[in-house]
Amino acid sequence: MSAADPDPAAELAFLAAEIARHDRAYHDADSPEISDADYDALVARNRALEAAHPGLVRADSPSVRVGVAPVSPLAKVRHARAMTSLDNAFSGDEVAEFVARVRRFLRLADDEPVAMTAEPKIDGLSCSLRYRDGLLVQALTRGDGQVGEVVTDNARTIADVPQRLPDGAPAVFEVRGEIYMAKADFAELNARLLAEADDPARARQFANPRNAAAGSLRQKDATVTASRRLRFLAHGWGEASAVPGGTQGEVIGAIRGWGFPVADAFARVADLQAALAAYRAIEGSRADLPFDIDGVVYKLDRLDWQERLGFAARSPRWAIAHKFPAQRAQTTLERIDVQVGRTGKLTPVARLAPVTVGGVVVTNATLHNADEIGRLGVRPGDRVVLQRAGDVIPQIVENLSRDEPRDAWEFPTCCPQCGSLAEREPGEVDWRCSGGLVCPAQRVERLRHFASRQAMDIDGLGTTNIESFFADGLIGTPADIFRITEATLLARERWAEVSARNLVAAIDARRAAPLDRFLFALGIRHVGEVTARDLARRWTSWAAFDAAMARALAVREAHVPALGESDDKALARLGKELAAVLETPGVGPEVALALADFLAEPRNRAALDDLLGEVAPADVVHA
């Protein structure tokens, strides 16, 4: 079931969960799922809704959050001074508006020059290096801006990071910058990983230098970090007992003098026109730089003005990132595959003749949904224009062969995995497999989601093991996971006593998982981590939540017989009634409908009851 257009509160709840999910994919899993441009669009939509409805701003709003709380096994430490994000500009006009805002805020005369610094926005992993009495004592990743991961031993292996500051440096000083991997070093690392792999088809390969740098720095074993050539580029500072200068340029100059690399293109620009000229120059040299960049950062040069301007919720008012437009290339669309996700969503993927875009070889691109295919009119054999927006996920933006007289590509009417009918609910753009638990793709994806880090977090039960166990009939439902024994594992190839014991122990440790993790792990549509946490905080125990859902199901049962298949208005009314029964902040009609639909499905309820025979959700919320 689906409701009509969500109300503002429901959409803000969706945006908070969706943006949080993408933050985790980028910052914690080092595996972004959407382009920078698509992410920025989500953030802009959230900002517009909050401006129109200030009373609906959520406590977990993306507008007050930076990055994502780290969940890795590395130790966590609170930053002495928060590591904030930057607002973005996508045109010269937006940069001009930034300068105008600065003038208005500071009440500057029209002829008062606004000098800034300009430097490349490197695509790396933010890191803060803390020095006390001249010695490097701590290195932290940005994390969520308030709390970062401790990577001190790893950072000490990086040649660009001085172990000691020269005499005369402040007693306490945090140098901040980006840890990155040069393009040539990235290519060498992937080649080495391929050569060292027992099975080249299963060799670990990093998608891009940013992922490689993040994965290499956040190792528990610093010798792994040392074996991969990482670099550091300084661009600012955090806590400091004294600041060696009165301008941004003077302090960066002092940091450079202490032995830290600073971008060669770093420069002071006298005004807006000089800033835009610097942007064009840096953009023109982009392909020749040894590292990836995605824009230019401007910062007010005068530190006293920076102090007066201060910070908004998640970014400084005295700095902005001027992002580059997407990079493009032409290639041939060889075929269109349809993938099946854990909720049954059918996603078309373009398989392309390999093409290099921005230094990365691209062979796949998202086509989003059937409507996007219709809009582009793409078919196998078409010549297409490919774009890597934000240098992350490629997408097709133009079909150069549209006018060629060939039949249109038809979206499948049946699931390519199980043959079940493909359905599209009223008001939705995505087609979904109706096979539910009988669809192998959905069952594997649901199991993978259930065991994932953000859900039940079962260490050692990754994609490879889940697919192998499922293929052999060892597991088919989440409850089956908790029936795995050491004896069963030892009877399988390549399982030793220690690995079998460790996996069973990891599974047993999740028999009392926090309630919010359990709810998220069920894979209910629209119930992301934030929504699961909202529900867990409201109802505090599984028994209380289940009782509330029983009341909601009674309301649903009274309405469903009278609903037509496409009665969106009636569905919207029902969603509002269900949301009122659940009375949980952040849970609107769409989420309430999804919860009720999930629990009203007999096969889902049977699988859930089976799972509750193995697991007792704890009456706590994961911190």
Rounded distance, CA 314 to CA 23, Å? 14
SS3 content of the chain, % helix, strand, coil (to 5): 40, 20, 40
Identify whether 268 is part of a domain: yes
323 is catalytic: no
Q: Are residues 532 and 548 in the same domain?
A: yes
pLDDT value of residue 32? 59
Q: Looking at 121, 183, 299, 323, which residue is catalytic?
A: 121
Q: Are residues 500 and 516 in the same domain?
A: yes
pLDDT value of residue 69? 47
10 Å CB burial of residue 35 (0-12, 13-18, 19+) is buried
Measure Cα distances from 447 to 217, 359, 619 in Å. 30, 36, 23
Q: Are residues 559 and 463 in the same domain?
A: yes
Q: Are 181 and 231 in contact (CB under 8 A)?
A: yes
CATH number of the domain to which 20 belongs: 1.10.287.610
Q: Are residues 57 and 114 in the same domain?
A: no
How much is the mean pLDDT over the chain?
87
Tell me the pLDDT band of 428, cut-offs 50, 70 and 90: confident
10 Å CB burial of residue 373 (0-12, 13-18, 19+) is buried
Which residue's structure tokens are 């500071």?
106
> Degrees (nearest 5) of the Cα angle 137, 139, 141?
160
Identify whether 429 is part of a domain: no
Rounded distance, CA 623 to CA 620, Å? 9
The 10 Å Cβ neighbour count of residue 542 is 18
pTM for the predicted model, two decimal places:
0.53
For 247-280, write each residue's pLDDT tens digit. 999 999 999 999 999 999 999 999 999 999 999 9
pLDDT value of residue 438? 64
Tell me the pLDDT band of 389, cut-offs 50, 70 and 90: low
**Range in 349-363, 401-415, 500-514, 538-552 with the lowest mean pLDDT:** 349-363
DSSP sequence for 517-555: HHHHHTT-TT--HHHHHHHHHHH-SHHHHHHHHHHHHHH
CATH number of the domain to which 187 belongs: 3.30.470.30
Pairing state between β 88-89 and 319-323: parallel
Q: Are residues 377 and 498 in the same domain?
A: no
For 372-388, write each residue's pLDDT tens digit. 999 999 999 999 988 87
Percent of the chain with pLDDT over 90: 53
What's the average model confidence in pLDDT over 82-91? 92
pLDDT value of residue 621? 83
Number of domains the chain is built from: 4
**Range in 110-119, 341-350, 364-373, 423-432 with the lowest mean pLDDT:** 423-432
Name the token pair of 262: 């600073």
Half-sphere exposure (CA, 13 Å, Cβ side) for 397?
A: 12
Q: Are residues 355 and 453 in the same domain?
A: no
Query: For the CA atoms of the chain, what is the radius of gyration?
Result: 26
Rounded distance, CA 486 to CA 490, Å? 6
Name the token pair of 493: 């190839």
Q: Is the pLDDT of residue 2 over 50?
A: no
Measure Cα distances from 144 to 201, 378, 528 in Å. 35, 40, 18
Q: Are residues 66 and 81 in the same domain?
A: no
**Range in 219-233, 404-418, 560-574 with the lowest mean pLDDT:** 560-574
DSSP sequence for 385-397: EEEEGGGSSEEEE
Q: Are 426 and 432 in contact (CB under 8 A)?
A: no
Q: Are residues 270 and 129 in the same domain?
A: yes
Identify whether 564 is part of a domain: yes
Rounded distance, CA 330 to CA 526, Å? 36
Identify whether 430 is part of a domain: no
For 134-189, write each residue's pLDDT tens digit. 999 999 999 888 999 999 999 999 999 999 999 999 999 999 999 999 988 998 99
Q: Is the pLDDT of residue 391 over 50?
A: no
pLDDT value of residue 564? 45
Q: Are residues 371 and 453 in the same domain?
A: no
CATH number of the domain to which 498 belongs: 1.10.150.20
Q: Are 194 and 200 in contact (CB under 8 A)?
A: yes
The domain containing residue 14 runs over which residues?
8-73
DSSP sequence for 319-360: EEEEEPPPEEEEEEEEEEEEEE-TT-BEEEEEEEEEEEETTE
Identify whether 534 is part of a domain: yes
Identify whether 617 is part of a domain: no
Q: Is the pLDDT of residue 129 over 70?
A: yes
pLDDT value of residue 86? 93
Half-sphere exposure (CA, 13 Å, Cβ side) for 32?
A: 26
Identify whether 456 is part of a domain: yes
Rounded distance, CA 322 to CA 297, Å? 6
Region at 257 (left for phi over 0; alpha for psi -120 to 50; beta for the rest): alpha
Q: Are residues 492 and 543 in the same domain?
A: yes
More confident residue, 425 or 603: 603
CATH number of the domain to which 357 belongs: 2.40.50.140
pLDDT value of residue 35? 57
Name the token pair of 492: 């399988």
Rounded distance, CA 242 to CA 236, Å? 14
183-196 vs 209-217: helix axis angle to the nearest 10?
A: 70
Rounded distance, CA 41 to CA 27, Å? 18
Identify whether 431 is part of a domain: no
For 26-80, write each residue's pLDDT tens digit. 655 555 566 565 677 787 788 778 777 777 777 677 765 554 444 456 789 999 9
pLDDT value of residue 488? 94
Q: Are residues 52 and 175 in the same domain?
A: no
Which one of 323, 349, 370 terminates a domain?
Answer: 323
For 565-613, write each residue's pLDDT tens digit. 445 677 778 888 898 999 998 898 888 988 988 888 787 888 899 999 9
The 10 Å Cβ neighbour count of residue 327 is 20
pLDDT value of residue 48? 78
pLDDT value of residue 326? 72
Q: Are 621 and 533 in contact (CB under 8 A)?
A: yes
Rounded distance, CA 420 to CA 423, Å? 9
For 457-492, write each residue's pLDDT tens digit. 999 999 889 989 998 999 998 999 999 999 999 999
What's the average model confidence in pLDDT over 418-430? 76
Which one of 16, 48, 73 terminates a domain?
Answer: 73
pLDDT value of residue 70? 45
Q: Are residues 134 and 119 in the same domain?
A: yes
Alpha helices in 53-201 (DSSP H): 92-106, 152-155, 183-196
Which residue's structure tokens are 């609906």?
56
Element (H, E) at 298: strand 293-300
Strand partners, 421: 414
Phi, psi of 588 (to 5 degrees): -95, -170
Which one of 73, 98, 123 terminates a domain?
Answer: 73
Rounded distance, CA 318 to CA 308, Å? 9
pLDDT value of residue 123? 86
**Of 604, 545, 437, 595, the residue nearest 1 (C-alpha):** 595
